[in-house]
Chains A and B, each alone.
Chain A
Amino acid sequence: MANSATVVPVLTLRRRTLGEVGYAWYERYRGGVAARLLLWLLLLYFLAPIIWTIASSLKTRAELFQATPSFITLNPTLANYQYALKRLTGFEIFFRNSLIVTLGATALQTVLATLAGYGFARLRFRGRDLIFYTMVMLIFVPRAGGLMAQYELMSFLHLRNSLTGLILAFSAGLAVPVFIMRQAFLNLPPDFEDAALIDGCNRFQAFWYVMAPMATGAMMVVALFEFIRVWGEYLFTLTMIDQRELFTLGIGMAMQFLGVSMEFGEFTSYGAQAAAFVMASAPVAAFFLATQRWFVRGLMEGLKF
């Protein structure tokens, strides 16, 4: 009880020094300050390389070659971007290839996974569960010679050195997406669909007009995962593509900056590299930021993939 006499003056003192707005903020975030500081420190590890790259891409030449490099820049410039676009031959081609493959594979996989997920969840036909669980089981089989067998198959089908081949191969990783979509359709109440069927819709209409619109959240999750995966894929593309004009961004950049291929010429400026990294990551970052609300909600609803 002795405490209450001292507590009140301290509070009024705080209110007086912080002002009304400041005090409201203090009330709101009080108690979480230590947790937030710790969290920010940990998040710095996640973000430091990213911030540093973006900052480097905006630095002037003088700032880049300071003896003690600064973490951020005070007078940003776009010169590095112009330089990178001019000197990094093929950047537009790599970028275009990445875009074609990623958009193609994402669209194809999302459509096929949605159709199949609906079929496995809602239709009744012989062998349905057997086919579905065979797909799921194959997730757990080790990929012993998978890459070699794919090389063989793609050569046989004349799909090596072909963007179409990449699209087909990437969108074929359907086990998990079909699992997610089936789960989404199982979680929807069947009543809507039954009503549509009674009112004279056929199966496809019931799917297209009634069920699919209610599963857009899961479709977003599938699309986002595929977009991220394909935009960032490296090893498979490296193995399937030999021609430089068909390289995707990842391969093109790695070849460029590791000096594996001499034909690119020397391209070592630090800031320009950083600018190229930013440009190569921008589409996937934009796609993620645009869809992250669905993504997080989808995860929270229990689609834990």
Chain B
Amino acid sequence: MAESRPRAAGSAVAWWRAFRQVRHEARGESLAGLLFVGPAVLLFLTFNAYPIVRGLVIAFSDYRYLVPDHAPFNAVDNWYEMVRDRVFWQSFGRSLQYTAIYFVLNFVLAFFVAVLISQIGQAREAGVYRVMAYLPVILPAAIALLVWRQFLNPEFGYIAVLLKGLFGSEVAKVLRDARAVVPTLAVIAAWKAMGSNVLLLLVGLYSINSELYEAAAIDGAGWWRRLMHITIPLLLPTFTVIFVLAAGVLGEAEASLIYYGLTDAGPEGAGRLVGRYAYEVAFLQGDLRWGYAAAINLTVGLTSMAISGLVFRALRSGRM
């Protein structure tokens, strides 16, 4: 089967090849091509490609939206400021913690759920479980976070009542603690995203040849050894995809903006993840410093790309 998911390195190579060849291509069905591809490309260029490129330019300027005609190019001055910006470093640290918790939870639980579902022989029953696991993914972000907000409400939420009942009201105070903010947001975000990882892993699991397991069973390999020596090695490509997608949440802003609202960043500001900080700088504070906010986003984006690149290489080499 052809490659079914775009990959950064692969598409760069393919792009370069296409670029080199374009002069030698025949015109072929240019009119039909224009009619089929044209509308989509036009829309894409206007509302997607242009803002991405323009956004990169903004990151190297001191663009302040509320100051009229003020967008001077300032090279890397934004980064000089960022290095000394304590709020940036704090929020960046929170985002790293957030991403780590998000990833571990997401990955471990999704893996176990997927393995268990893949062992259900009845097709209908397995279908029901797949739908259940995917339900949180389809919920609107705002609804999902508001539901959890009710669920975790320190006074009447179900979790609070449960904690009080089991461990007493001292433990239940955890729900108000500033240190609990980042883990809470990460748990909710992982809950919301896990279903798509379950499906990705299931696609991988279903495509493993069952004869491998039979042969291993005949050779005396138990459940655990089959998991370690067949399932996990053959799922490594899927793991890579999940790692890369998880690294993408480093700059996430939505969860905190919905959970605590626009004006409040949670107890002691602990809900200010770096994505939220950039949003505040760009749209809520002072004269809306778009240049600085774009520079923050660019830093975060490059960091998450670097993380996923490292993971990709590590898993690649561990595969042999």
Contact = CB atoms under 8 A, between A and B. Distances in A.
Interface stretch (A45-53, A73-81, A84-92): A45-53
Contact of B142 (A32, A53, A169, A251): A251
Given A128-B33, A136-B6, A145-B55, A43 B44 contact: no
A129 interface: yes
Contact of B136 (A46, A115, A134, A292): A46
B181 interface: no
B13 to A, nearest CB: 9
Contacts of B63: 148
A49 B148 contact: yes
Nearest to A293: B127
A137 interface: yes
A282 to B, nearest CB: 10
B36 A115 contact: yes
Contacts of B290: 145, 148
B138 to A, nearest CB: 5
Given A123-B33, A142-B301, A150-B47, A45 B6 contact: no
A192 interface: no
Nearest to A157: B46
Contacts of A178: 40, 44
B263 A257 contact: no
A158 interface: no
A88 to B, nearest CB: 13
Interface string B229-242: 00000000000010
A140 B137 contact: no
Interface in B47-67: 47-59, 63, 65
Contacts of B144: 49
A125 B18 CA distance: 12
Given A43-B132, A148-B294, A126 B282 contact: no
Given A69-B161, A144-B55, A112 B40 contact: yes
Max count, chain B CB within 10 A of own CB: residue among A127, A186, A300: A127
B294 A145 contact: yes
B18 A133 contact: yes
B56 A145 contact: yes
Contact of B158 (A69, A204, A299): A69
B47 A45 contact: no
B137 A228 contact: yes
How many A residues are at the interface, by size bracket? Answer: 35 or more
A241 interface: no
Interface residues of B, number: 113
B89 interface: no
A144 B58 contact: yes
A42 B150 contact: no
A304 B5 contact: yes
A12 to B, nearest CB: 25
Contacts of A137: 11-12, 15
B297 A273 contact: no
B218 interface: no
B253 interface: yes
A219 to B, nearest CB: 14
Contacts of B54: 145, 149, 152-153
Interface in A166-193: 168-169, 171-176, 178-179, 183, 186-187
Interface string B98-116: 0000000000010011001
By secondary structure, the A interface counts as helix
A210 interface: no
B6 A139 contact: yes
A284 to B, nearest CB: 5
A140 B8 contact: yes
Contacts of A250: 140-143
A135 B136 CA distance: 30
B51 A153 contact: yes
B262 interface: yes
B156 interface: yes
Interface in B137-178: 137-144, 146-151, 156, 158, 161, 165
B133 A296 contact: no
A176 B7 CA distance: 11
A249 interface: yes
Interface of B: 1-2, 4-6, 8, 11-12, 14-15, 17-19, 21-22, 25-30, 32-37, 39-41, 43-44, 46-59, 63, 65, 109, 112-113, 116-117, 119-122, 127, 129-144, 146-151, 156, 158, 161, 165, 191, 194-195, 199-200, 203, 206, 241, 253-254, 257-258, 261-263, 279, 282-283, 290-291, 293-295, 297-298, 300-302, 305
Given A116-B36, A116-B39, 9 more contacts: A46-B135, A130-B15, A141-B53, A142-B301, A144-B55, A172-B43, A172-B47, A257-B146, A285-B135
26 contacts: A39-B120, A43-B132, A46-B191, A49-B191, A53-B150, A68-B161, A116-B39, A123-B32, A123-B36, A131-B41, A143-B297, A143-B301, A148-B58, A148-B294, A150-B47, A152-B54, A153-B51, A153-B54, A228-B138, A250-B140, A253-B143, A260-B261, A280-B143, A302-B1, A302-B203, A304-B5
